[in-house]
Amino acid sequence: MEKNFKLKFLQCKESDLSEIGLDKTYTRKAVEKHSFKTLKIYGLSCAQANIIKQTALSSGTDCAVHREVITGKIESSDCILSGSIDELKKIAEKLKYQPLKLSILSENIKELLANTIPAPINIRDIVINWQEPYIMGILNVTPDSFSDGGLYNTIDKAIEHYKELIENGADIVDIGGESTRPYSKPVSSEEEINRVIPVIKAIREFDKSTILSIDTRNAITAQKAIEVGVDIINDISATEWDEEIVNSAIEHQCPIILGHASAPPEVMQDYTNYTDVVDEIFNYFYNKLDLLTSSGIEKCNIIIDPGIGFGKTTKQNFEIINRLEELKTLGCPILVGHSRKNFIKEITGTTDNTVLDEATAILTQKLIEKRVNIIRVHNVKLNNIAKKLCKSFF
């Protein structure tokens, strides 16, 4: 009996090419020939789509378009273009000389292929370069948050927990005074301010270096929090709840985290009927980025959060996690907050925080593989261990 050939699938790296004996001066270029990407390009005219398809074929790959593109019976078509990085670069170079504004697409493709890591963010004298994920610890000073409501709603308790988060390796601490769990009711900005501002002031009395974020939808809360030492705005409504929050971000040139939610918390779980959840999140942020950068917020100061659990089903949450690379093409750092959420409870069949924290850490490992930039969690210690174990991925 003849022996079968030995073979396997491979995610090609320079070290793999060196190992088989390829000329070392050629390995970096060769990686581009053996690393494949798939791009989706939206809203092309039939003429544009036909040119891209023919360009792809001439470059040794292919492009999927609507079946009626060749007849011109439709107004527009999306396309799916696949190939090695080297092939996509060649296609982009050929499109540079094509009509119908395809030279713009050429630059877009080149830019997308070049920018694998988001631009750094400067916070005071700290440079966040996104070379590895940052762990964001959660400090809820609320009476009714879904997993720790009432545990840290005095200054002393909040400070004690804050110190624990820092000791366990939190890079950022996110301070919130309003629960936005499913079906929660909004609190007044006055009440929210009374909860968070004294805690922030107390923290800044002994810790002036740690990066702090304020978890709020309200512009006045964000403004007052920045005035007493907060560095980042974390708005789960992506400026939809209170548009004035944009002005605080512009005035202080501070980073802002934009969260995706299908609706306000009290009704968001009634709105989970997406045609394609990741596609809709992508398009939402694409338009939001255009709006906010036009308003004066620098793109490097925008972080996006796909809103795990905010108007999504369990299946949709896992689909978002599985397809995070699609959102990374927006060019912004990505934050994921999955800690102890209902979809984990549904899968594990428990509300025990010890088990939920373990399950959260398992998902954190997946997120690190996906190159997520900020991981927002309750149990910093456990998730920091997961980060250390995954260090070899960086």
Mean pLDDT (whole number) for 172-197: 92
pLDDT for position 3: 84
The overall average pLDDT reported for the chain is 93
Known active-site residue 376: yes
Residue 6, pLDDT > 80, answer no
Name the catalytic one among 341, 370, 371, 387: 341
Predicted pLDDT of residue 218: 97
pLDDT of residue 5: 83
Mean pLDDT within 285-306 = 96
Q: How confident is the model at residue 385 (pLDDT cuts 50, 70, 90)?
A: very high
Edge-to-edge strands, sheet with 62-64: 36-44, 77-84, 62-64
Does pLDDT of 146 surpass 60?
no
pLDDT band at 10 (very low <50, low <70, confident <90, very high): confident
- Looking at residue 52, its pLDDT comes to 97
- pLDDT for position 150: 61
High-pLDDT (> 70) share of the chain, %: 98
pLDDT at 147: 60
Give Dmax over CA atoms of the chain in angstroms.
80
Rounded to two decimals, what is the model's pTM? 0.91
Question: How large is the average pLDDT for residues 187-204?
Answer: 95
The least confident of 22-36, 50-64, 87-101 is 22-36
Domains of the chain, start order: 14-114 (no CATH), 121-393 (3.20.20.20)
Q: Is 56 exposed, middle or buried (0-12, 13-18, 19+ CB in 10 A)?
A: buried
Phi, psi of 371 (to 5 degrees): 65, 40
Distance between CA 207 and CA 261 in Å, rounded?
33
115 or 306, higher pLDDT: 306
Number of other residues whose CB lies within 10 A of the CB of residue 289: 18
More confident residue, 3 or 341: 341
d(CA 289, CA 277): 18
Q: What pLDDT does 184 receive?
A: 87
Residue 394 confidence (pLDDT): 64
Confidence of residue 317 (pLDDT cuts 50, 70, 90): very high
Q: Which of 217, 328, 370, 376 is catalytic?
A: 376
Asked about 13 being catalytic, the answer comes back as no
